[in-house]
Chain A
Amino acid sequence: MDTIKSQQVTFKVFRFNEETDYLPYYNTYTLDVTHEEVVLDILNRIKWDHDGSLSYRRSCRHGICGVCSIKVNGKGILACKSRLFDLVEVFGNEITIEPLSTKRAIKDLIIDKKDFWDNHAAIKPYLVSEIEEHPAQEHLVSPHDAEKLLEADYCIQCGACHYSCPALEVNDSFFGPAAFAAAYRFSADVRDEASVDRLHIVNEEAQGVWDCVKCMECAEVCPKEVNPIEKITKLHNMVFEAGIAKNNVATRHAVGFAHSIEKHGLLDEGELVRYSEGNIGVLKHVPVALKMFAKGKIVLPWNMPKADKLDEIKKLIKSSSTVKF
């Protein structure tokens, strides 16, 4: 079987210079692309052969520095790591190249990442440990303890997850997945002495882990398989385990599931909202609840269905529960 060695691809490239342009625009280039080329090769060819003014960030070319992160057809990628043929297989022969965040574009594919670095700095992304000036021996970490860091160490701060996070897109206060992955990395380190301080930082409403929408976009987009949503879940768990979970709508929403499953096997949706919001807070949901009730979408407490073999579920909850709130 013959292997396709090259194919023609049309590139629509985002252009904007904040010093001279009022609005962004796109330039289109049609190039023959070979099977070994990555997106960075294409950007280089456009710059060197077609338009020297095209601006983008590039550095290591080995998928490790993270600076060449951009979006292709909406997907965050490392330009130096993503093969064109792989992208064409998914998106077809029309490829749109944009900065990670069009609203933060400074010049073409270069963005201002200040918000990313501010969020990163805010979670104390460093090990806090009182050590002697001249320690007698190294502070060794066992392989078992090192495993607890999961893949969090692999983050290269490229920003692909940060600028793909839908919660962050509509909530400027939200720390975002990269900052949370960093928070987990240091809080999970057995040498760290600021774990609880850091957990307090990510435990705040609006900016913290409770405002994650659980869309899995950060896990999907990460070019280094850091899986930030997994670290966000771990931070949730650590907040409860450390006993610093605040008694608020977010934590009660998580705990309410355990209560409901223990009682019914299934989730009592109405009771979960009441339990999470409290008796006063729940009132704001009444207008929607009435509309749902009128359409037969609310199950009244006395009609709440139960799972078969509920005793079995209760027994497992009693025996397997690992945290208390």
Chain B
Amino acid sequence: MEKLKYALFTGCTAKESTPEQMMSTLAVANKLGIELVELTEASCCGASHLQDYDDFLSLVLNARNIAYAEKHGLTMVTICNTCQLNTAMTKHRLDHNAELKAKVNAKLAEVGLEYKGTSQITHFLYAIIDDFGLDKIKEMVVKPLSQFNIAPFYGCHNIRPSELQNETHKSPESAYKPTSLDDLIVACGGASVDYVEKTKCCGFHAELQAPRTAALLTGNAVAGAMDANADWMVTPCPLCHLKLDTQTHHASVALGREVSLPVLHMQQMVGLALGCTPAELGLNHHVTKVDFV
């Protein structure tokens, strides 16, 4: 197989509040022989909040990020569900609206750039499943996670809206019955736990504005995984991770029930199965202690 190579859009959290996500992404890519060219020029995607304030500005900034991936001639790979949504949504809007694309390109021209629409955008989860292949990952597992019940938490912005899924992913999955993360858990040797909340919202994007709503959604998610006898949770989204890992106290208070489970990034789970060390994967950076390795 030709060596896989992507333009890596890290997003902001991988540089700040989830350093373990960056560490584990690089560790897993290294194990799988995937080359990642970091888009160091990229700006924040706006995380769906800049879009509320200034939609056109967010389009210009996201188009600029994609333009840099295009300069490399590579598919952009994201490691955050919300970065994935905002970038893929920008691509969708510009590719389907020539007038808007021209307006955005008029701005990009001021800094010598152009959005062409030539680069695809995918999340690292789908890159390793669809492009690298689950079977190959399975073959490379040296430490199967066979003693664990693992609760997948998909995160909203990877699975909804289906319109983007269908455009972006080689094997689009149902927003109501996604399988990618479950399949990855099984490929890593673990047992995938089924629970209603696995496709629900963690509440991250309303944490400051609507703290009780956000806390209840976090609590419901962790409680659902606990009630399904999960040993830990796994997510492809660093924002879900932050919410589920750091906010369990608020969630417990709101829910009136103590809820807490270790939550791993998808990359950390794969890394463990591939034989990476806990230090390489940054497991010491979790607020909710990861005490099973």
Contact = CB atoms under 8 A, between A and B. Distances in A.
Interface string A293-325: 001111100000101110011011101111101
Contacts of A312: 41, 64, 111, 113
B113 to A, nearest CB: 8
Interface stretch (A24-32, A130-138, A258-266): A258-266
Interface in B11-34: 12-13, 15-19
Nearest to B68: A309
Nearest to A210: B209
B178 to A, nearest CB: 10
A214 B18 CA distance: 21
Contacts of B54: 237, 240, 258, 321-323
Interface residues of B, number: 66
| Residues of A contacting B: mostly | helix
B5 interface: no
A212 B160 CA distance: 15
B213 A240 contact: no
Contacts, number: 207
A297 B40 contact: no
B41 A308 contact: yes
Of listed B16, B107, B217, B247, residue having the most chain A CB within 10 A? B16
Interface in B177-221: 177, 196, 200-201, 203-206, 208-210, 212-214, 216-217, 220
Nearest to A256: B49
A192 interface: no
B107 A216 contact: no
B222 to A, nearest CB: 14
Interface residues of A, number: 69
A292 B176 contact: no
A61 to B, nearest CB: 24
Interface stretch (A7-15, A193-201, A246-254): A246-254
A220 B53 contact: no
A296 B282 CA distance: 10
Of listed B41, B48, B53, residue having the most chain A CB within 10 A? B53
A257 B287 contact: no
Contact of A316 (B48, B50, B107, B177): B107
Contacts of A308: 40-41
Interface stretch (A48-56, A62-70, A152-160, A166-174): A166-174
B41 A240 contact: no
A126 interface: no
Interface string A56-83: 0000000000000000011100000000
B171 to A, nearest CB: 14
Interface stretch (B55-63, B128-136, B227-235, B271-279): B55-63
A297 B16 CA distance: 6
Contacts of B213: 167, 170-171, 174, 211, 213
Contact of B111 (A254, A273, A315): A315
Contact of B57 (A236, A258, A288, A309): A258
B162 interface: yes
A215 B208 contact: no
Contacts of A219: 160-161
Contacts of A309: 41
A96 to B, nearest CB: 11
22 contacts: A91-B176, A171-B213, A206-B210, A211-B210, A215-B205, A237-B55, A253-B208, A257-B53, A258-B50, A261-B43, A265-B42, A266-B44, A267-B12, A267-B44, A288-B247, A288-B250, A296-B19, A297-B285, A299-B15, A312-B64, A316-B61, A322-B56
